[in-house]
Structure 1
Amino acid sequence: MIRDFDQLHKYDNLFSNKWNLCEEKTQEKDILPMWVADMDFETAPSVEEALKKRVDTAIYGYASETKEYFNAICQWFSRRYDWHFSALDIVHTPGIASALVIGLHTFSQKGDGVLILTPVYHKFFYIIQHTKRTLVQSALRETSDGYEIDFADFENKIKTQHPKIFILCNPHNPVGKVFTKDELNKMVQICLKYKVMIFSDEIHGDLVFEGKKYTPLAALSEETADRIIVCTSPSKAFNMAGLRSSSVIISNPDIRRRFKNKMDFLGYPKINLFSLPATIAAYTKGEEWLASALAYIEQNRDFALSYLNQYLPRLLVHKPQGTYFLWIDFRAYDVSSTQLEQFLLHKAKVWVNQGYSFGDSGIGFVRMNIACPRSILQKALERIKNVIDKIDIV
């Protein structure tokens, strides 16, 4: 059984961050939430079945990882991406943001530089700031074909500002770029040259569209794996972010030991009971559902691009290669970030992520989540179209 991705759902009493708090957070009624990074789809039937079975036991004590759990993770990445690691390499954390905080506390000191490629996931900025590290930015270069790395600037920032850690988002959130093997190799070689540790957030690795291929950074070579921390999770691909589970893959035993010791010292919780059967079910029986969900999202992407091209040609979008976001350029309207935010929220009544939160190079853009029934996506685009002429006078 594969889900009906066109189905609309009732969110009453589901404690949904995306849907149940709209009016409270925005002070507006009838808002379409297209912001937070989860799907509006029911998860894979195998995940649902596994969770129901576990709930029916009525025993919810502390849990621990099992051999079956570790094998499911290892085999998923080995089978799909030719990335081979052992169960010993896996460290569980409550999420990738948590893993990043642990990593910065373990392998850097206050004031140390942390490099990111902007525009990028907004929590990177927050975490760097609140751990009192120094932000180092290298802006992705926008071209007619999309975004690319400015390798001269990337190396110069490392050479002159001496960051201890480089945080990569692979595939990239929010621009939807899937880095090629050559691009990844070049970044790694520069970091190895200057002894910069790499923390790679690869939570969207399973969400890559036809014609592109996700390459796990640590799969490039043994030398690469020895200096890298890779974070993965089934949460985005299988819409189970609320289960709070991620796998940090650390091949270097000394780095892994230090990471685990710091995690214990900081008091991070052990694994969520329900994430264990859910992860096993997703990685062992969920592949067909994932293929169908990804195909539907890709069709959403193409529908949205066609709609924008026909009805809203001043809004530009580079065709995303992965993730479930559109990175929409509103700069042709020459309005401030505050005006743009107010216009979309209070005139169009579409709640999206504002580009400025992804760094200065995101000013004038918005991130829209398109992992939703097509009718919702169409409604959101129509709302923007119907009031776009008012954008200059908000």
Structure 2
Amino acid sequence: MEYNREQLSGKIIVKVVDEGQWRSDLKAFSYSLFLSPEWVNSVSSNLIRPVFLNFLIDDATVAKLSGVLVYSGKIKGKQIYCYASPALKTQDEALYNSIHTALLKFAKKEGIARIVMGSYDQQHNMECNAPGFFKTRRFEYVVNLKGDKELHFSKGFKKNVKKALNAGAKVLSSNSPVVLGKLFELLENTRQVRFQKYGTDYNPFYLQYWNKESILHLVKSKLGVLHYVVDENDEIHCVVLNIEQDERIYGLLMGSDDFTYQNGISSMVDSFFIEKFSKEGFQYYNPGGGTGDDGNAGIEKYKRSMGAEKIELSGSTTNFLIYPQKFLNPLLNLGRKLPATDKGVIGFLKRFI
């Protein structure tokens, strides 16, 4: 049966379910890896609780969404944060927008002050046009591992791969505590190098509510997989953290030392992933994305050098939905008009709101 948008909004029921029930039919939907229970649980804590939602029409589940309920104190209230938008079975814009409308009504009823939805690993390019939502745009770079066209690598990329192999580097895999500890050690060096190269500070824990503890949980759940690079003396110079599930790979973090930068190791690692996962029948390798803010030009150039395609994605946010938090909405509206930067007073204001 087909419904128009007005009929859909009234028919959709939002139901909170437990993790097991939510997971049971997940593979029937085109879902982001960042909606998986393992990811949501990894960022949870006492004040950040996982939430799993099914959207029903006539007792049939038509969409799924997971995220975290965040208790942000009296000023910001209780908010729901999702790392990607709802997962549907097919691209249906009328249904997609109606789900957002139903979610908005649900949030108000439950005393949720605000909704924020990202677009990490989002499996569609639909935009939310439901009243009360504001679009947020960002990009990701995806290497299609099952495409008909042969992947094109730049000369510089291939040169770096050869350089790394000549240096005796090789890629291994292990989720051991030793490798995990080395990742944390190398992240600080990566931060310093990126600052010197791109002129902007680099926060390795760039995802909302993500920290060292989250990585520990992610690796323990086996959704997170560690790969590392050693030289001829078995010294570790680089550690990479991926999400690997359902024939999909999403690159989360890479920690590197000077040997890595001097010998083109990052290109060798990406080449290794592309070859390895192509042979294993994976769909794509997503080495991450950006917002188009300061410092992304060099990163984008590199990701294109490995044959990645730039994809525009759209998330959405609301203003505050209930009082007294609604008094902060003028600040939110101002923040949307400010330049795209994390620096100075503007950066402070954006972080606050």
* TM-score, reference length from structure 1: 0.23
Q: What TM-score does the superposition give when structure 2 sets the normalisation length?
A: 0.25
